[in-house]
Structure 1
Amino acid sequence: MVASADRIWDLAVIGGGTAGLLAAKTAAGLGARVVLIESARTGGDCLWTGCVPSKALQSAAASVAEARAAVRFGVDVGSIRVDFPRVMAHVRSAIETIAPDDSAEALEAVGVTVLPGRARFTGPGRLTVGGAGVRFRQALVATGSEPAVPAVPGLAEVSPLTTDTVWDLEELPERLVVIGAGSSGCELGQAFARLGSRVTLLETADRVLPAEDPDASAVIRDVLRADGVQVITSARIERVRPGVVAHTGGGVEFDRLLVLAGRRPRTVGLGLEAIGVEVDGAGWIRVDGHLRTTAPRVWAAGDVTGTPLFTHTAGVHGTIAAVNALLGPLRSVRTDGEPRVTFTRPEVAAVGVPTAGASTVQVRHDELDRAVAEAEVIGFSRLAIGRRGRIIGATVVGPRAGETIGELAVAVSQRLTTGDLAGVTHPYPTFSDGAWNAAVADYRSRLGVPPARRLTGLLLRLRRRWVSRQ
Structure 2
Amino acid sequence: MRTFDAIIIGAGQAGPSLAGRLTAAGRTVALIERKLVGGTCVNTGCMPTKAMVASAYTAHLARRGAEYGVVTGDVSVDFARVMARKDKVRFDARKANEDWLAGMKGLTFIRGHARFESPKIIRVGEERLSAGQIFLNVGGRAVVPDFPGVGEVPHLDNVSMMELDRLPAHLVIVGGSYVGLEFAQMFRRFGSRVTVVEKGPRLISREDEDVSDAVRDILEREGIAIRTGAECIRFVRSGKDVGVGVDCAEGAPEIIGSHILLATGRRPNTDDLGLDTAGVATDKRGYVIVDDRLETNVPGIFAMGDCNGRGAFTHTAYNDFEIVAANLLDSEPRKVSERIQTYALYIDPPLGRAGMSETEARGTGRRLLVGTRPMTRVGRAKEKGETLGFMKVIADAGTGEILGASILGTGGDEAVQSILDVMYAGRPYTTITHAMHIHPTVSELIPTVFGEMRPAD
Normalising by structure 2, report the TM-score.
0.92
Q: How does 1:185-224 map to 2 (within 5 A)?
A: 185-224=180-219
> 1:107 maps to what in 2?
101
Deviations 1:86-139 (A, max 9, x none): 111111111122222321x31232333211111111113111111201010101
Tell me how far apart the structure 2 counterparts of residues 84 and 169 of structure 1 sit (CA, whole Å).
9
**Backbone CA RMSD of aligned residues:** 1.8
CA contact (8 A) 1:24 1:322 kept: no
Indicate conservation of the 8 Å contact 2:245/2:255, yes or no: yes
**Distance in 2, Cα, partners of 1:177 & 1:124:** 45
Structure 2 counterpart of 1:415, which letter? G
Equivalent residue letter for 1:55:
K
Rg (Cα) greater in structure: 1
**Is 1:239 paired with 2:222?**
no
**Secondary structure at the residue paired with 1:133?**
strand
Deviations 1:437-466 (A, max 9, x none): 213445xx89xxxxxxxxxxxxxxxxxxxx
The equivalent position to 1:125 in structure 2, one of 117, 120, 124, is 120
Q: Provide the rounded CA distance (Å) in 1 between the counterparts of 2:326 and 2:441.
A: 38
Mapped to 1, the partners of 2:24 and 2:203 lie a distance apart of: 43
Percentage identity across aligned positions?
Answer: 30
Q: Which amino acid aligns with 1:107?
A: L
Gaps of 5+ in 1: 447-470
Q: Counterparts of 1:327 and 1:259 in 2: how far apart (Å)? A: 43
Amino acid at match of 2:180: G
Corresponding position of 2:35: 40
What is the letter of the counterpart of residue 123 of structure 2? Answer: T
User: Counterpart in 2 of 1:291?
Assistant: 294
Q: Is residue 39–residue 118 contact of structure 1 (8 Å, CA) maintained in 2?
A: yes
Deviation sequence 1:289-314 (CA, Å, 0-9, x none): 11110112101011001122010000
User: What is the rounded CA distance, in whole Å, between the counterparts of 2:204 and 2:345 in structure 1?
Assistant: 9
Kindly provide the CA deviation profile for residues 209-233 of structure 1, in whole angstroms up to 9, marking residues without a partner as x.
1111222211110111111110011
**Contact between 2:52 and 2:86, CA under 8 Å: does it hold in 1?**
yes
Report the AA paired with residue 106 of structure 1: W
Give the Å deviation of 1:323: 4.1
Cα deviation for residue 327 of structure 1 reads: 6.7
- Taking the aligned partners of 1:282 and 1:406, their CA distance within structure 2 comes to 32
Moved more, 355-364 or 299-308: 355-364
Stretches (4+) displaced over 6 A: none
User: Does 2:310 correspond to 1:307?
Assistant: yes
- What code does the residue aligned with 1:182 have? S
- Say which of 427, 431, 439 aligns to 1:428: 439
What is the SS of the residue equivalent to 2:199?
coil
1:188 Cα shift?
0.5
Q: How does 1:365-404 map to 2 (within 5 A)?
A: 365-386=375-396, 387-404=398-415
Paired residue secondary structure (2:358): coil
Question: 3-state SS of the aligned residue for 1:208?
Answer: coil
Partner of 2:419: 408
Counterparts of 1:151-170 in structure 2, within 5 Å, are 151-170=146-165
Contact 2:36 2:43 in 1 (8 A): no
Q: CA deviation at 1:281?
A: 0.7
Question: Match of 1:280?
Answer: 283
Aligned to 2:365: none
The one-letter code sitting in structure 2 at the alignment partner of 1:109 is: G
CA contact (8 A) 2:387 2:410 kept: no
Residue 328 of structure 1 deviates from its aligned partner by 7.2
Task: Report the count of equivalent residues.
Answer: 438
Range 23-32 or range 240-249, more displaced: 23-32
Cα distance between partner residues in 2 of 1:407 and 1:434: 12
Structure 1 residue 265 corresponds to structure 2 residue 272 = no
Contiguous gaps of at least 5 residues in structure 2: 363-367
- Rounded to whole Å, the distance in 2 between the matches of 1:273 and 1:326 is 28
Is the Cα contact below 8 Å between 1:336 and 1:353 reproduced in 2? Answer: no
- 1:118–1:130 Cα contact (<8 Å) kept: yes
Confirm whether residue 354 of structure 1 aligns to residue 357 of structure 2.
Answer: yes
| Residue 229 (structure 1) aligned to one of 190, 205, 224 | 224
TM-score under structure 1 normalisation?
0.89
